[in-house]
Every structure is written in structure tokens, then in C-alpha cells.
Amino acid sequence: MMLNMLALLGVLLTALYFIGLAAVALAIPERAGRFLASFAETPIAHFVEMTLRLRSPS
């Protein structure tokens, strides 16, 4: 039961994040564009970044 509640909380928080991102994109498109552009710009750079993050110690 507790695990189900934690899973539900994770899903709800993720949904709220995406709803907030959509609201910012509609209200302040320039800021949302800068935020989204700050991620890796090519697929190769994306995979290198993911690999480095997975291998780095927490």
C-alpha cells in the first residue's frame, strides 16, 4: 500500500512539473525556449551526457 502511494506521488509530481512547464511555455515562451535549449543539442551529445551522468558517483 505504501509503495503504491509513493508511486502515485511520483506520477503526480511529474504531471505537475509538465503542466507547469506547459504554463510557462504559454506565458513566457522565450524563457521556456532558453530552458529547453540548455539541454544537449545533438543526439550524440545527449548520449555522451547521459553516459557521464550514469557513471558519475552520486
How far apart are alpha carbons 10 and 44 in whole angstroms?
Answer: 29
For 15-34, letters b (16+ CB in 10 Å) and e give eeeeeeeeeeeeeeeeebee
Q: What is the pLDDT of residues 29-50, one digit of tens each?
A: 999 888 888 777 888 888 888 8
pLDDT score at 15: 97
Query: How much is the pTM?
Result: 0.62
pLDDT(58) > 70: no
pLDDT score at 41: 80
Q: What is the pLDDT of residues 9-32, one digit of tens each?
A: 999 999 999 999 999 999 999 998
| Secondary structure (DSSP) of 10-41 | HHHHHHHHHHHHHHHHHH-HHHHHHHHHTS-S
